[in-house]
Structure 1
Amino acid sequence: MATDPIAGDDAALVLFSGGQDSATCLAWALDRFARVETLGFDYGQRHRIELTCRAGLRTGMAGLDAAWGRRLGEDHTLGLDALGAISDTALTREAEIGFEASGLPNTFVPGRNLVFLTFAAALAYRRGIRHIVAGMCETDYSGYPDCRDDTVKALQVALNLGMERRFVLHTPLMWIDKAQTWRLAQSLGGVRLTDLIVEDSHTCYLGERGQRHDWGYGCGECPACRLRAEGFAKFAATP
């Protein structure tokens, strides 16, 4: 895994799950950086079908714009089985989705984004990349504490101190809702990009890809599907 010659301030590493948010983040990075690599995680997630969607999305985005095709670099996938093994959640177990006594949804995987960003920084260190892009959002999130802006900023400080680097953690979706995320995608790649995200991304917590909705594939009932559907309806209704 050699360091790419185009690196530093001209390169970015995108946490790319294969979902709507991470696909939009990838487009955002391709629009800004000369070289963009992607990173996915296999942690035993119930909806791990998202990992199989990543290749199609990458290929589709490379075909949308010649410059994006030139900029899209290597893809990486890391196995984090230990995270799934210690997580008794509805994202890593066959359990009904609901809420814990703490008020947090039982889809919250403790430490997930902290671990993801730490491994991303370790990979970026090895690849000589300064910029790390992730899809955390505090606007219409489910209350996950590791999606908060304060958490990401604190972790950036810790990573920079612990690795003696000046990483920049970018969260372009932090202050926008799902409808605005669709609009951002449209502004970056037009209808062709939003159509690609609808057809090829995956966000459903249950991993369902049988039914095709206006907003994409999913069970239509889990919190992720409802949030995506509501956002798409609002987006589609706005000229």
Structure 2
Amino acid sequence: MKLAEDRALVLFSGGQDSATCLAWTLSRYAHVETVGFAYGQRHHVELKARLALRREIASHFQGWGAKLGEDHLVDLEALSALGETAMTGDVEFQMAESGLPNTFVPGRNLAFLVLAAALAYRRNMGTLVGGMCETDFSGYPDCRADTLEAQMQALRLGMDADFRLKTPLMHLTKGQTWEMAEAEGGTELVGLIVEHSHTCYRGDRDHRHVWGYGCGTCPACELREKGWNDYRAAPGPSA
């Protein structure tokens, strides 16, 4: 089945990475929709951040707003029911016996892609866009380019559809992701991402830092803060 190449579906969590990917996609595609997943995540506040980011981006960038279509939220609570992780339960962040951090939710990105592709198939959207990254990730095997391409090949075969997956952050550091946001939407977009996106694994929206809201001590906050500091230290228009 031939799907429309100029229609894209963004896997949109409401975090820094997916917000940057949304801007990147709106700059390149004629029609863009978003999909999020409720999987019992400890930082469920990100589900509200998704809506705030969509609203603010559409309001501040009217050209993008004209391209921004529907948002979809998919119930994937079964992921948390299969076993507790630091992303789905109130447990301390640490390394598991597998050698991976206990923030790893087995099969999460693979499940996201299956359901996003099923939605895209029905809505004639040939491109999926995700914020997966090999550079600043925590060793998650489902963030690797070879894993994602294998999954996409299975989806192409299983649905007989010409899906394409774009991962614009795959080889970027967090600092470079901030730089991409500025390149796509200037310091105005950077400010929206700082204020409205959510990354903190603990779901903390009480503590405001220069890089956004969060506890400041979980792995996600530490990575975001480091990326922000690298971005601000780099030579460029905003430095």
Aligned equivalent of 2:82: 86
Q: How does 1:1-239 map to 2 (within 5 A)?
A: 8-239=4-235
CA distance in 1, matches of 2:119, 2:80: 21
- List runs of 5+ in structure 2 lacking aligned partners: none
Aligned equivalent of 1:4: none
Q: Could you tell me how far 1:91 is from its partner in structure 2?
A: 0.5
Q: TM-score, normalization: structure 1?
A: 0.96
The answer to whether the 8 Å contact 1:62/1:68 transfers is: yes
1:9-61 CA-partner distances (Å, limit 9, x unpaired): 11100000000000000001000000000000001000010000111100111
Larger mean Cα displacement after TM superposition, 80-89 or 102-111: 80-89
CA distance in 2, matches of 1:63, 1:189: 13
Q: Which amino acid aligns with 1:32?
A: R
The answer to whether the 8 Å contact 1:87/1:110 transfers is: no
CA distance in 2, matches of 1:93, 1:169: 30
CA distance in 2, matches of 1:205, 1:86: 19
Q: Which amino acid aligns with 2:99?
A: G
1:99-129 CA-partner distances (Å, limit 9, x unpaired): 0111100000000000000000000001011
Is the partner of 2:6 in helix, strand or coil?
A: strand
Q: Which amino acid aligns with 1:237?
A: A
Q: Which amino acid aligns with 1:179?
A: G
CA distance in 2, matches of 1:124, 1:234: 36
CA distance in 2, matches of 1:87, 1:115: 15
Q: Which amino acid aligns with 2:190?
A: T
Q: TM-score, normalization: structure 2?
A: 0.96
Q: Could you tell me how far 1:182 is from its partner in structure 2?
A: 0.1
Identity %, equivalent residues: 60
Q: Could you tell me how far 1:215 is from its partner in structure 2?
A: 0.5
Q: Could you tell me how far 1:87 is from its partner in structure 2?
A: 2.8
The answer to whether the 8 Å contact 1:19/1:203 transfers is: yes
Q: Which amino acid aligns with 1:164?
A: D
Is the partner of 2:182 in helix, strand or coil?
A: helix
Is the partner of 2:10 in helix, strand or coil?
A: strand
CA distance in 1, matches of 2:38, 2:173: 26
The answer to whether the 8 Å contact 1:64/1:189 transfers is: no
The answer to whether the 8 Å contact 1:108/1:144 transfers is: yes
The answer to whether the 8 Å contact 1:207/1:218 transfers is: yes
CA distance in 2, matches of 1:135, 1:117: 12
